[in-house]
Structure 1
Amino acid sequence: MGLTGVTARAYVTNLGSGNVYVFNTANNALIGIIEVDDGPYGAAVTPDGLRVFVTTIVNGTVNVISTATNTVIDTIPIGFFPGELVITPDGTRAYAVLIGEDAVAVIDTEENTVSDKIPVRDGPNSIAVTPDGTRVYVSHFGDDFVSVIDTETNTVVDSVTVGTFPAGIAITPDGTRAYVINSGDETVSVIQLDDNTVTGPPIPVGFDPRQIAMTTDGTRAYVTNFRDDTVTVIDTVNNQPVDTIPVLDGPIGAAVTPDGTRVYITNANANSVTVISTADNKVIETSGVGADPNFVAISPPILE
């Protein structure tokens, strides 16, 4: 691979075809297809941009990908039905939801081993980490709560009641609020993180919302609405929806580029990725990927 510049990359997990597509976000060009274990699902990039961690729900593993070579360099057995995962801001640990065990696995990213498993409430779904790395927030599709994990002790220290069937979570860059999708209510709840209480009325979004991504300046959130093939844009200053963007069939995953200019959306039923400009909330490109794409993770700028 030639050294052509420094660009961020988008890593798209394709649940149905067992691979990860890699895009150069500067021009949306496909630059690699990585074969992984069966059922790739969640994905997260280390803060230094050197590795991508991908959960595989069929094999119960996490595949570790080198971004230098776009190949799998390690496989970590993790547990039953692993879902989403996040990596702490210091890059030392990954926290992965184990849907089949009602637990969160903690991975030592230096040794690539599971160092702990944290019991949580029923049906853990989505997961997010605060910018200072001290707390992890886990939504529970099974019981309408969000669990709060202290990363120093790896124990649950609080639970927050939200709406029905909570799914995706995004935390503002300043660490003051968490935005939690309530799939059953077609709303988003806002949690004030200093006291873990819900603030303000729920924010209405589209039909069957799944995931949420926050812009780098924290002023807007993008919510994928699986059943009506749209993305809702939320103004986080006023906590109101301000736009609805049509995309392709079955949008699920969402991620924002490091410069905040674009949002990548996976369309699970259309086997594609849609790129949205945050300047005007218009679709600027759609690219084909593998079968049933679910999540997308975007790296910091990497030397190509």
Structure 2
Amino acid sequence: MIKFKMIFIVFLLSGVLLAGCSSGSNAVEESKPVSGDAQQAEGNKEEAEEKTEVQYYYTANEKGSISKIDAADNSIVTTIEVEGSAHNVQASPDGKLIGATVVPGMGGHDGHGEVSAKAVFYSVESDELVQEVEVGNHPAHIVFTEDGKYAVVTNSEDNTASVINMDSFNVTDTVETGKGPHGFRISSDSKRAYIANMGEDTVSVINLETMKEEKRIKVGIAPVTTGVTSDGKILVAALNGENALAVVDLDTDKVDKIPVGTGPAQVYIDETGQFAYVANQGTEEAPSSSVTVIDLALKKAIVEIETGKGSHGVVTSPDNKRVYVTNMFEDTVSIIDKEQNKVIDTIEVKGVPNGISITD
């Protein structure tokens, strides 16, 4: 997949922009000495529990790979090679799968040929490919519903979203959106997807029960991605064309705009719903290198954190202690301490890291 700013230019020129009580007898039995076999069994149980607690974050790399990184020590565990350009990656709610969008390699192919784009799904445990699913042209982002029933993919060139049933891995619905659908998030009740339409100034609200677009909310120029609070009251959208974050009251659709850095790309709302983190990418010729932190209650930026060149993807950890940011133009990931609001580590990730996600 071509770099983000190239996507923006292509779409701009073409008009298609781009979650007991124990009895006394039991107490006596628990006080008995434990046999060697029982101790071994208990040790195996504890070891298995420790294994399930391993947490990974993943980056989608545009040059054709997905990096799996151990969140404990920020070491790259595996590099999964893909056929094409990986743009976005997302962990399933149960932590068992990683889904990614893949665009065919661009050599001799103008993005409109017969080669199919796809969503790919890998096992978190084994790193093995579980399934490939053909979707629409130029797939952008993939997001799972919190109930695990669906994965939704935006097709930027088709102005649609593909809905994949996760039981069958079949595309069961194709929903029309605005122009250039790109990044999005799904409400915590799994009922609605809020899709940023880069080719216009709107966010499409998709009802995942009726599989229809309910409405479009005007938010501002070239929205790239969205976020929605867990209570479903606040929607945010990164406005690449205005260097701002749109904050939308979903009861009234009233929009407030908060200035951020240059060329904002992704936005992510933390676990508390208090802060939104906006990655400022800029362009390859004039890259930005920061993340703007927005207090959603105050509706203002409280700090700008220096990261790396071309900050694009952003996600916060489930324990709300870290922020992970991909820096496209220097092939790195910045790890931010949320309490200190500063980068505490930077790791190298080859292949132009773009989207990012973390397992629960």
Tell me the TM-score range normalised by the shorter chain: over 0.9
Q: Mind listing any 5+ residue stretches in structure 2 that lack a counterpart? A: 1-46, 105-115, 283-287
Q: How does 1:1-304 map to 2 (within 5 A)?
A: 4-5=50-51, 6-16=53-63, 18-58=64-104, 60-195=117-252, 197-199=253-255, 201-227=256-282, 228-300=288-360
Query: How many residues were matched structurally?
Result: 296
Q: Deviations over 1:80-114 (max 9, x none)?
A: 11001111010010111001111000001111111
The alpha-carbon deviation at position 198 of structure 1 amounts to 2.4
User: Matches of 2:164 and 2:322 in 1, distance apart?
Assistant: 30
**1:174 and 1:107 mapped to 2: Cα distance?**
25
Is 1:37–1:63's contact at 8 Å kept on the other side of the alignment?
no
Give 1 or 2: higher helix fraction.
2
Structure 1 stretches of at least 4 aligned residues deviating more than 2 Å after TM superposition: 2-5
Please state how far the C-alpha of 1:42 moved relative to its aligned partner.
Answer: 1.3
Q: Distance in 2 between matches of 1:7 and 1:69?
A: 13
Determine the C-alpha separation between the residues in 2 that align with 1:141 and 1:164.
8
CA distance in 1, matches of 2:152, 2:299: 28
Question: Does the 8 Å contact 1:162/1:198 carry over to 2?
Answer: no
Name the Cα RMSD after superposition. Answer: 1.3
Structure 1 segments unaligned to the other structure (5+ residues):
none
One-letter code of the match for 2:270?
T
Q: How far apart, in 2, do the equivalents of 1:198 and 1:150 lie?
A: 20
- TM-score, normalization by structure 1: 0.94
Partners of 2:183 and 2:131 in 1: how far apart?
A: 24
Does the 8 A contact of 1:86 with 1:129 survive in 2? yes
The alpha-carbon deviation at position 46 of structure 1 amounts to: 1.1
State the 1:243 CA deviation: 0.5
1:138/1:148 contact within 8 Å kept: yes
Higher Cα radius of gyration: 2
Q: How many Å separate the matches in 2 of 1:294 and 1:121?
A: 23
SS in 2 for 1:100: coil
1:258 deviation in Å? 0.7
| Structure with the larger strand share | 1
User: Are 1:231 and 1:244, in contact at CA under 8 Å, matched by a contact in 2?
Assistant: yes
Q: What is the TM-score when the length of structure 2 is the normalising length? A: 0.80
Deviations 1:237-261 (A, max 9, x none): 1010000111111110001111010
Summarize deviations over 1:118-161 as a string: whole Å, max 9, x none: 11111111111011111111111111011111110110011101
